[in-house]
Amino acid sequence: MVTAVYWVSEAVPLGAAALVPAFLYPLFGVLKSSEVAAEYCKDTTLLLMGVICLAASIEKWNLHKRIALRMVMIAGAKPGMLVLGFMCCTVFLSMWLSNTSTTAMVMPIAEAVLQQLICTGLADSHDDSETAEAPEEDSDKEENLDKNQLELLYRNSWYVCVRVAIEIPNVKRVKMRRDSQYPTKRDHMICKCLSLSITYAATIGGLITITGTSTNLIFAEQFNNRYPDAKVINFGTWFIFSFPIAIIMLVLTWLWLHFLFLGCNFRETCSLSKKRKTRREMLSERRIHEEYAKLGPISYPEVVTGVFFVLMTLLWFTREPGFVPGWTSLFEKKGYRTDATVSVLLGFLLFLIPARRPFSSSSCCKNSDDESESDPLAPMITWKDFQRLMPWEIVILVGGGYALAAGCKVSGLSVWIGRQLEPMSGLPPWAVTLLACLLVSAVTEFASNPATLTVFLPILSALSETLLINPLHTLIPSTMCVSFGVMLPVGNPPNAIVFSYGHVQIRDMVKAGFGVNLIGVAVVMLAITTWGVPLFNLTEFPVWAVARNGTGSL
């Protein structure tokens, strides 16, 4: 309770609050200090470290920017297709990077496109005013116009300041424009739609992989720690279950945002025909192409990073796919190799492989710093690159959750909680899961996602064992729904990043987020009652849970 209060109130940093079990358990004789300390570094810590190594290489060599711009170029500049293009690239990147990092990477690119849209809108209004108010003796009138320079200065942490000067006649319309930075209400709606779509897409992408977000890692480690005989949760099974969820959520979220901000005229906003493109859309496309051209040809470090990216994914998928023997069957001893083994191995190689092409005299590291430029043997990433992205607070937070679970195991607290929940035994499994999803998604709007899940997982596990429900029936949906804290800027860091750009207000985020929240809960419930049943054999109370329930221990 003490740790949970600190987590929810955030009176101290989350990582500091996670250290409470480290001194309270030994003081009160619950666990030895050495036993508590062992809980703070698990297999998922190594898995996260390897993934962060790859993420550091992706960010250092601008591979994320190349992927994002390329996907947006394919989508086009029509508002509806532009939003869908940014959502697709954000989902893809968020599968492998943290939701916060992905939003911080993609949002500046989107902001540059939006500012181009605003600038072009002002230029269009300038043309309209000239056409509407110019008399027959147009040339004489223009000589006497007192023209002002309106400098639109837009900047962010990823781009050098860009100054755009647009000449606008000193007419009454200019005064109206000064009240708002947006040329028209429709332009403002496009800015809102695109900004919110990025934070929602980052959340959706984080659901797909077991490493996509910290809450997935918390669930995987706590589940495997509580049920060591259950060999059902790995990268492959999680991906098979969550990928259809993400696709359905992506489409429905895009439709919801389009309806909310852009209306229902999909033919106008989603047409790929060049004849239907406006001047602003053509200039926006040109801006995106210019940004892509600045990256130049693909470099050797980008190729190496891309190869490692694909290799890590393939090795994760083929380790224990389930329907065929995986590559771990080639080894004599079973159960020694996990996804963390692959992650750490490839992460280590990134510190070892030089960033410069072998036998090449010219430097190909156009995005590297001065140190790697001068050192021909400089590696793909340095320890500083890794340290800059490594979320140590999340590592300690996850460790605190494991320590709490270990205390529950020794003291029998979880068994006691399960007995108090026996009156719910009359509810069907889907009703229990729905209540858990709604409760978790409501609490996570005001508390951090990792802290919320860490508090609820032991309770839901005990509830499932008491009601003789497959624990996966409640744990997996709750783990996914804990990511749906999208209604407020404090719900998660991506929301705060998008809110800081100033395009959306809290009422916009609440209105759009409420719909996304309902979509998420509905799709997750659909998944767990359909294709999740045969995938995880949810119709039976499993043997690995029977043994756990019979011993009465965690």
Q: For 194-212, what is the HEC assignment?
A: HHHHHHHHHHHHHHHCCCC
**Residue-level pLDDT at 178:** 32
> Which residues in 149-187 are b (16+ Cβ under 10 Å) and which e?
ebeeebebeeeeeeebeeebbeeeebeebeeebbbeeeb
Query: Phi and psi (nearest 5°) for 129?
Result: -65, -35
**C-alpha dihedral over 406, 407, 412, 413, to 10 degrees?**
-120
Q: What is the pLDDT of residue 323?
A: 60
Left, alpha or beta for 485 (phi > 0: left; psi -120 to 50: alpha)?
Answer: beta
Q: pTM for this one?
A: 0.66
The parts of the chain modelled with pLDDT lower than 50 are 123, 125-179, 370-371, 550-554
Domain ranges in the chain? 1-115+185-270+279-358+378-545
Look up tokens 């992408």; give the residue.
205
Q: 419-437 pLDDT, tens per residue? A: 676 677 678 888 989 988 9
Q: How far apart are CA 214 and CA 15, in angstroms?
A: 13
> Which residues does 479 contact at the CB level (< 8 Å), separation at least 6?
215, 216, 218, 219, 453, 457
Which tokens is 183 given?
A: 């040329």
DSSP classification of residue 260: I
From residue 381, give the alpha-carbon distance in Å to each of 299, 306, 388.
15, 14, 11
pLDDT of residue 477: 93
277 burial class (0-12, 13-18, 19+ CB within 10 angstroms)?
middle
- Predicted confidence at residue 33, as pLDDT, reads 92
Q: Please give the pLDDT value at position 413.
A: 75
Summarised one tens digit per residue, pLDDT across range 266-287 is 776 766 555 556 676 677 777 7
Give CA–CA dist 475/220, Å, rounded.
Answer: 10
Q: CB of 261 within 8 A of CB of 190?
A: yes
Q: For residues 395 and 170, what is the distance between their CA atoms, to the nearest angstrom? A: 58
DSSP 359: T
CA–CA gap between residue 225 and residue 102 (Å, rounded): 30
Contact 376, 356 (CB under 8 A): yes
Q: Is 162 helix (H, G, I), strand (E, B) or coil?
A: strand
User: Under a CB-based contact definition with an 8 Å cutoff, are residues 63 and 295 in contact?
Assistant: no
Identify the CA nearest to 95 among candidates 42, 62, 51, 45.
Answer: 51
Maximal C-alpha separation, the chain:
96
DSSP state of 230: -
With 0-12 CB in 10 A as exposed, 13-18 as middle and 19+ as buried, what is 240? middle
Give me the pLDDT at residue 77, please: 64
For 464, half-sphere exposure in the C-beta direction (CA atoms, 13 angstrom radius) is 32
